[in-house]
A = this chain, B = another copy of it.
Amino acid sequence: MKCQTKDFRQEHKKEMRAVQDSMDVLNGKWKIPIISSICFYNKRRFSDILNDIDGISNRMLSKELKELELNKLIKRTVLDTQPVTVEYQLTEHGLTLKTIIDNLTEWGISHRKKIIEE
């Protein structure tokens, strides 16, 4: 069964690149928790996200938020308060990640079961 023609393999390589593109954006320990936190509360301030996520440092939060903004997944809004507060929210494009996050949530739960049951 040599239906694995060159076209097929080319198509497969394209798909692999696409998945990797996604993973590049979502990779690291904190991206998804951050998105998840902002998404859950709709709008969320820096210090609130810092509190939502166990163990994250302000250095990492700051860095990751920048990357997410660069990738157009979140929008940053500086509020005119004293002292300044900053609000983050998902862009429309960021919201399209919801399906994936939901899937990952579901799979994570079933995976944990699977591993524990031995």
Which residues of chain B come closer than 8 Å to A96, judged between CB atoms? 107, 110
- Supposing A100-B103, A103-B100, A104-B23 touch, asked if A33 and B18 sit within 8 A by C-beta, the answer is no
Which residues of chain B come closer than 8 Å to A72, judged between CB atoms? 114-115
**Per DSSP, are chain A's interface residues mostly helix, strand or loop, or mixed?**
helix
What's the Cα separation between A112 and B103 when bound, in Å? 21
Of all chain B residues, which has the CB nearest A103? B100
Instruction: Mark interface residues in A23-36 (1 if CB within 8 Å of B CB, else 0).
Output: 10111010011001
Are B32 and A20 touching (Cβ within 8 A)? yes
The quantity of this chain's copies bound in the complex is 2
- Supposing A111-B21, A111-B22, A114-B72 touch, asked if A16 and B41 sit within 8 A by C-beta, the answer is no
What's the Cα separation between A102 and B45 when bound, in Å? 33
Answer yes or no: A66 CB below 8 A from chain B CBs: no
Instruction: Mark interface residues in A5-20 (1 if CB within 8 Å of B CB, else 0).
Output: 0000000100111111
Which residues of chain B come closer than 8 Å to A106, judged between CB atoms? 18
Set B25, B103, B104: member contacting A111, Cβ < 8 A: B25
What's the Cα separation between A112 and B34 when bound, in Å? 21
